[in-house]
Structure 1
Amino acid sequence: MSAIPRAALLLGLAGLLPFVWGALTLLSDGAYAWGIETLGGRFVGPYVQLFYGTVILSFMSGVLWGFATKASGKQAATCYALSVIPALWAFFMAGGGPVSAGVNLIAGFLGLLILDWQFWRWGLAPQWWMHLRGLLTGVVVACLLVGVLT
C-alpha cells in the first residue's frame, strides 16, 4: 500500500473547506452572520455546500474519465460510461430544495465512492486512491448531513 502523496492530500483537504464552512455557518450564528456580511448569501449554509457539491461531482467525473483512459476494449467503454454518472447525477438530482438536494448529493458522493473503488479494483486508480477518497467522502457526507438535518 502506498502513502497518499502530500500534494494530493493537501489539495484534497483544501477542497473540503467549502463543505466544512457551509456546515459551520449552519451551526454557528456568528459564522453565518460574518459570512452573509462578508461573502454574501451564496457562500453560507447549504447554498455553498450544494453548489460546490455539484461542481465536485462533475470534477470527479473528469477524474474517472482520466482513469478510463488506462483501460482498453469493452472495459474502456464501461469505464467511460461509468465516469459520466457523477456529473449527470449532480445535474439531474441537485435541485428541488436544500434538503432533497443535500440528500441527493450525499447519495451521489456515496455512489462516487463505489465507482472510485471499482476503478481502483480494476487497477486504473493509484494504490493510495481509496485512502484519500474514503477520508474526503467521509467529511463531505458528514458536512452535507449537517445541512440536511438542521
Structure 2
Amino acid sequence: MRAIPPAALALGLAGLIPFVWSALTGMIPELGLWTAQTIGPRFSGPYVGLSYGTVILSFMSGVLWGFATRAGSAKVAASGYALSVIPALWAFLMVGGGPISAGMNLIFGFTGLLGLDWLFWRHGLAPPWWMRLRVPLSVIVVLCLGTNVFF
C-alpha cells in the first residue's frame, strides 16, 4: 500500500476533533459545563458527537458514491451506488431518540461503513491507501462515541 497523502491524513485527523471533544466533555463534567456555558450546550457531551457523527456518516455516503463512479462495469457501478446510500439512510432513519440509542446506532453505522470502505477498496474503487486511513479513524470515532454511550 502507498502512503496516505498528507492532506488526506491531516483533514482526516482534524475531522476527529469534534468526536474527541464530545468524549472529553462527556467524561469531564467541568469541561462539559464550561463548554455549555461558553459556546453552547450543543457543543458539549454527546450532542456534538451525535450531530457531527450524523453529518459525517452522510458525508461518507457521498465519498462511496464517488468511488462507485470509478467502476468498470455498469453492474458494479449500480451495486456501488446502491451500497453507497446505506450510511446516509442509516443516519437518517436510526439516529434519533435518546443519546444512548442514537450513539449506539452511530457506532453500528460507523462499523458498517468500515465494512463498506473495505468492500469498495477490495474492488479497486477506493485508493490503495484508503484502509490505512479509514481503520484508525473509524476506531477512534467508535471509541469516542462509546464513551458517551457506556460511561
| Same-fold call, TM cutoff 0.5 | yes
Partner in structure 2 of residue 63 of structure 1: 63
TM-score, normalised via structure 2 length: 0.98
What is the CA–CA distance in structure 2 between the aligned matches of 1:21 and 1:111, rounded to whole Å? 23
- Aligned residue type for 1:116: D
Amino acid at match of 2:132: H
SS in 1 for 2:2: coil
| Structure 2, unaligned runs of 5 or more | none
Partner AA of 1:106 in structure 2:
I
Paired letter, 1:21: W
Equivalent residue for 1:78?
79
The C-alpha deviation readout for 1:10-41, integer Å capped at 9, x for no partner, is 10000000000000001112211221111101
> Which residue matches 1:133?
134
Q: Which residue of 1 aligns with 2:15?
A: 15
Q: Distance in 2 between matches of 1:50 and 1:82?
A: 23
The number of residue pairs the alignment matches comes to 150
Deviation at 1:79, TM superposition (A): 0.2
Residue identity matched to 2:26: L
Aligned pairs for 1:29-48 (under 5 A) are 29-48=29-48
Q: Secondary structure at the match of 1:146?
A: helix
The RMSD of aligned alpha carbons is 0.6
Deviations 1:28-59 (A, max 9, x none): 12211221111101010000000000000000
Unmatched tracts of structure 1, length 5 or more: none
The aligned counterpart of 1:97 is 98
CA offset at residue 96 of structure 1? 1.3
Q: Which residue of 2 aligns with 1:117?
A: 118
Q: Deviations for 1:110-143, whole angstroms, at most 9, x for unmatched residues?
A: 0000000000000000010001000100000000
Compute the TM-score of the two structures, normalised by the length of structure 1.
0.98
In structure 2, distance between residues paired with 1:6 and 1:30 = 35
Shift of 1:104: 0.4
Greater than 4 Å deviation, 4+ residue runs:
none
